[in-house]
Structure 1
Amino acid sequence: MSTAARGGAMELDEYLPVLEKTNARFADATAEAVLEHGWQAPVPGCPGWKLNDLVWHLSEVQHFWAWVVKTRAPDPSTYLEPARHPDDELLGFLIAQNAELETVLAGADPSERVWTWAPQQDVAFVLRRQLQEATVHTADVEQVLGAVRPIPADVGLDGLDEWLEVMVPSALPDGPPAGAHPVVFHVLDADAERTLFPGSRPFPIATLTGNAGDLLLAAWRRVPIEVLTVHGDPSQAAAMIGLVSLE
């Protein structure tokens, strides 16, 4: 696999090993959550979802992207969605999808073209997106357990970069709306700063300071702004983040 830098917090050859560890962490946390709370436990970070919905979602997402990379299909029109499995089969299906996705990605060149929903149309996009998908959803299942383990600084910063570079333009293709103000993310454990809506106003409405993982989870609205140190207007900072639709 190529070791070319992405220009961000992680190198291309780091994504797959970290995805494998994150998938294992998600599966272990799921098994523990099922034992302690059952499949019907609510997921705080995904309002309206139960634990079984979360596990099925990640399984289905990984099933889809493994198919995309494996088939090199020019678009998703021929994809067949799997039938939803009963709760007692969910963990086994999840682990099977983990293995399939990891195997397919391990055998693909990151520079090879594949369909994606974003302007970047290559396997490297899938690697990064699936790592960050699994990272945020691992925090979701750990919230069911009541204890979210720290996200490594490089993974958290790369996820924040991806949110700013990919998710924000996807949600706001015409650029920042009229009422947008900059929000600065000051990343303590990576000694870095990133800005949401840079240039929309001369000065930021707030600076949010915290570790990369906490800033990432705040951007994805998994934790409240109050877990961070805020200089400026916290309610307006939350409103600016809220402009980025996660649908």
Structure 2
Amino acid sequence: MGSLDVEQLMAGLLEETGALAETVRDADPDLPVPTCPGWSLRDLVEHVGNAHRWGATLVERRSAEPPPPETQRPQGPDWLREGAGLLVDAVRRTGAGTVVWTFLGPRPAAFWVRRMLHDTLVHRADATAAVGRKVGYRPELAADTISEGLELLSAPTSAQARPTLAELRGRGERLLLRPAEPAVRPGWMITRAPEGVRWERGDGPADVTLGGTVTELLLVFSRRLPPEKADVEITGDTALLDHWLARTAF
């Protein structure tokens, strides 16, 4: 489950959802979200709040298959907080180790706390962009979001679900994400192997290195900021980084 235990993940989910709720509290719900083309703030809130409720239903039922999508309409920022609370409560009651359905196969229910935390965290960047602010994250949460993203990208079934990921196969080219904060080092060494993406926590020589705070690294990694607009330093083969970002877009 990465570098955070389930209690930290649940606390992080509640914290990030609360921060998202405050970001949108006084904002026009019809504001467009530039990092999610076609979405308004209302759409973003609806997506996040219903995803939390869907996850809570899945865990509560100990589902072996995905339940139908949740379709509630947003009822204000506190509705967001309520959805995160429902998921946390469901995991506490059911047990974090209870095996349930996930898109990667059967996994402990804690999987959904982590997945929803990181989905919410990235979408907070979308909301702050819509209202014209700059986002900031606790380094340990941003770091685990990068790790989880790499776990998903390198999963054996990912290229089947998203064919562009197959184009990330390579001949051993290496990309390094190097965080500035000592507390979350080492960085992430990504290798484009012939069989697919491989990664590990580490440092060393790479074909291209992206350095900066872990928040800035995450914003580039999640394609919420283009590298040229982020406070990052890039050394090496920038075309390799551009190719990676273009094929991990979603």
In structure 1, what is the Cα distance between the partners aligned to 2:22 and 2:118?
Answer: 18
SS at match of 1:197: strand
Provide the residue aligned with 1:232 in structure 2.
236
1:171 and 2:158 aligned? yes
1:17 aligns with 2:19: no
Aligned to 1:186: 178
Q: Is the 2:179–2:185 Cα contact (8 Å) retained in structure 1?
A: yes
Higher RCO (CA-CA < 8 Å; seq separation 6+): 1
* Corresponding residue for residue 113 of structure 1: 99
- 1:106 deviation in Å? 2.7
Corresponding position of 2:202: none
Contact in 2 for aligned 1:62/1:130 (Cα 8 Å):
yes
**Alpha-carbon deviations, 1:188-207, whole Å to 9, x = none?**
11222212235569x73310
Paired amino acid for 2:218: L
**Unmatched segments (≥5 aa) in structure 2:** 198-204
Q: Is the 8 A contact 1:42 1:50 kept in 2?
A: yes
After superposition, what is the alpha-carbon deviation per residue over 1:33-88, rounded to whole angstroms, capped at 9, x for unaligned? x2xxx111111221221111111110121111111101111102xx3434452x6x
TM-score, scaled relative to structure 1: 0.83
**Which of these residues, 43, 49, 69, is aligned with residue 81 of structure 1?**
69
Q: Partner of 1:215 in structure 2?
A: 217
Q: Deviations over 1:161-206 (max 9, x none)?
A: 10111234353358642488321101111222212235569x7331
Structure 1: runs of 5+ lacking an equivalent: 1-5
Percent identity, please.
Answer: 22
Do the aligned residues in 1 keep the contact of 2:87 with 2:113 (CA within 8 Å)?
no
**Number of residue-to-residue matches in the alignment:** 231
Matched, 1:46 2:36: yes
Amino acid at match of 1:171: S
Matched, 1:27 2:17: no
Contact 1:205 1:237 in 2 (8 A): no
Q: Check conservation: 2:21, 2:81, Cα contact below 8 A.
A: yes
CA contact (8 A) 2:34 2:126 kept: yes
Tell whether the 8 Å contact from 1:171 to 1:245 is kept in structure 2 after alignment. Answer: no
Q: Which amino acid aligns with 1:234?
A: T
Question: Is the Cα contact below 8 Å between 2:91 and 2:110 reproduced in 1?
Answer: no
Alignment-mate amino acid for residue 69 of structure 2? E
Alignment partner of 1:122 out of 80, 89, 108: 108
C-alpha separation in 1, matches of 2:243 and 2:61: 41
Instruction: Give the one of 72, 80, 89 matched to 1:103.
Output: 89
Residue 34 of structure 2 aligns to a residue whose secondary structure is coil
Residues 128, 135 of structure 2: 8 Å contact kept = yes
* Deviation at residue 95 of structure 1 after TM alignment: 3.4
Q: Distance in 2 between matches of 1:28 and 1:73?
A: 32
Q: Cα offset for 1:142?
A: 1.3
CA contact (8 A) 2:17 2:80 kept: no
**2:51·2:70 contact (CA, 8 Å) conserved in 1?**
no
Whether contact under 8 Å (1:44, 1:140) holds in the other structure is yes
